[in-house]
Chain A
Amino acid sequence: MKKFIGVGIIVCALLLFLPAKKHVHAASPDAYQTYLKQFDTYRTTLNSFKIARDEYLKYKTLTAEQSALELTRNILSQRALLLRAYLQFLSEKLQESLYMSPSDKTLYTTLITNEIKFLEDNNALMTSVAALDDAEGTSQQLTSHYTILQSSIYQTIVGLKAAELGELDANFYQLFTRAYEMFQANRSSYTQEKQSTIDRWFLQAQNKRSLYQQKMDAIAKENSTLKSSSMDEITSTFTTIQKEFLEARQYLAEASTFLQEIVSAMQYRD
């Protein structure tokens, strides 16, 4: 009996000292769900606000004014909360991005943090809103800041997409290097003609990757100048960047196809 108890204690001790499996939980899906719920609340509040506002503008009664004021406070608050929930989602995506450079991550995180702080400050003003004029003033604060907020959002989105492509490019470069080294180590196994063919193919794959890198450099440059004075300009630049992302992805796909051909050709002598 004592033996069994002893063995049991040892097993328990071993289990306790086993390294616990690290539970990795992605926070961005939860943040996205919160954002979607907040969006629903915002839409509902917006409809109620519009009804109260129209009633006030039509009848101009004290009751209608009071109702409109309450719902204006509510919509301003919900608007700030919606934007905050979206920024929180972006922030989580930034934290989960493994291949973003630390400097970029710091830059975008700072942008998002500043915008969240602005929204919190703006939301804090809701308590002091006692009349519709005050509400207009508070709303105007956000309106005048909205272009900066949008440019910060778009810059972060571009950064996230660039990181996604960067991860694939890093993977490609690693495999390209492995294939090249493998070929060089076994060079003598191939005929002269085959050697020169594979050399040329490596160059062609490298050229494709260079085109990809040029495109990504152009995107990075345009992203840094996204801070514009008008929303239209920001949207237009973002659309251009989207197209460039597609072109960059195409170059990387072609380079990857070339590498696949090279690796396939490497198994035969001639």
Chain B
Amino acid sequence: MDEPQQSPPGMPNAPTPPPGMPITPPPTTAPIMQPTAGTPPPTGIPAYPKKPFDMRFLLIGLIILALVGGGIFALTRTPPQEAPAPTATPTPSPTPVQRVKVPLATESAYLDLSQAVASLSASINNLQLNNTTLIPPTIELSLGFPN
């Protein structure tokens, strides 16, 4: 024997069937509605009437974006560092050496001597002591015939 089902608390109890009638559980899903004969089956979702996109909204959006972006950039931008202006530092100028020349320095004899000494130094440094032209010839002394 099936016992009558108890309703959950707070919910009204279902009407009890009359005695002698079998109790059948209610269908969990609704039965599929069969197409009625004579009516054509629906072909698809009916087309939604499209509204044309208003370009003005895009323009306004872009302007707002540019304004907001520009504002943020202006706020966060750091000012460029300026190079410090060079300041002139006073440099001490060398004390001019006043070397007094003797009268001899302008005489032709001294100038000739100076030139001759410079020429001699160059001659000494340019002297080729390893003169290859003076190397004696290498000859074969043995004729190579057995005695």
User: Which A residues are closer than 8 A to B by beta carbons?
Assistant: 32, 35, 39, 42, 46, 50, 53, 57, 72, 75, 79, 82-83, 86, 90, 93, 132, 135-136, 139, 142-143, 146, 150, 153-154, 157, 160-161, 164-165, 168, 171-172, 175, 178-179, 182, 186, 189-190, 242, 245-246, 249, 252-253, 256-257, 259-260, 263-264, 266-270
Contacts and interface: CB of A to CB of B under 8 A. Distances in A.
B45 interface: no
Given A168-B127, A245-B129, A189 B102 contact: yes
The 4 A-B residue pairs with the shortest CB-CB distance, nearest first, are A267-B105, A189-B102, A269-B100, A256-B121
A211 to B, nearest CB: 14
Given A39-B137, A249-B127, A270-B99, A175 B104 contact: no
B121 A249 contact: no
A132 B104 CA distance: 79
Interface in B91-129: 99-105, 109-110, 113-114, 116-118, 120-121, 123-125, 127, 129
B102 A135 contact: no
10 contacts: A57-B146, A75-B143, A83-B137, A86-B137, A142-B141, A171-B123, A242-B129, A252-B124, A257-B121, A267-B105
Nearest to A261: B117
Contacts of B99: 268-270
B85 interface: no
B33 interface: no
Nearest to A158: B134
Given A168-B124, A249-B124, A242 B130 contact: yes
A268 B104 CA distance: 9
Contacts of A86: 136-137
Contacts of B136: 86, 150, 153-154, 157
Contacts of A190: 102
Contacts of A257: 121
Contacts of B142: 139, 143
Nearest to B147: A136
Q: Among B101, B110, B134, which residue has the most Cβ atoms of chain A within 10 A?
A: B134
B53 interface: no
A263 B117 contact: yes
B115 to A, nearest CB: 10
Contacts of B102: 186, 189-190, 266-269
A41 B49 CA distance: 117
Nearest to B134: A157
A132 B140 CA distance: 17
Contacts of A132: 145
Contacts of A157: 134, 136
Contact of B137 (A82, A154, A269): A82
B82 to A, nearest CB: 53
Contacts of A146: 141
A247 B143 CA distance: 41
Given A175-B117, A182-B109, 11 more contacts: A154-B136, A168-B120, A175-B113, A178-B113, A189-B104, A190-B102, A249-B124, A266-B102, A267-B104, A269-B101, A270-B100
Given A186-B104, A245-B129, A253-B125, A175 B145 contact: no
B120 A175 contact: yes
Contacts of B116: 175
Given A132-B145, A189-B104, A268-B99, A246 B129 contact: yes
Contacts of A267: 101-102, 104-105, 110
A32 B131 CA distance: 13
Contacts of B123: 168, 171
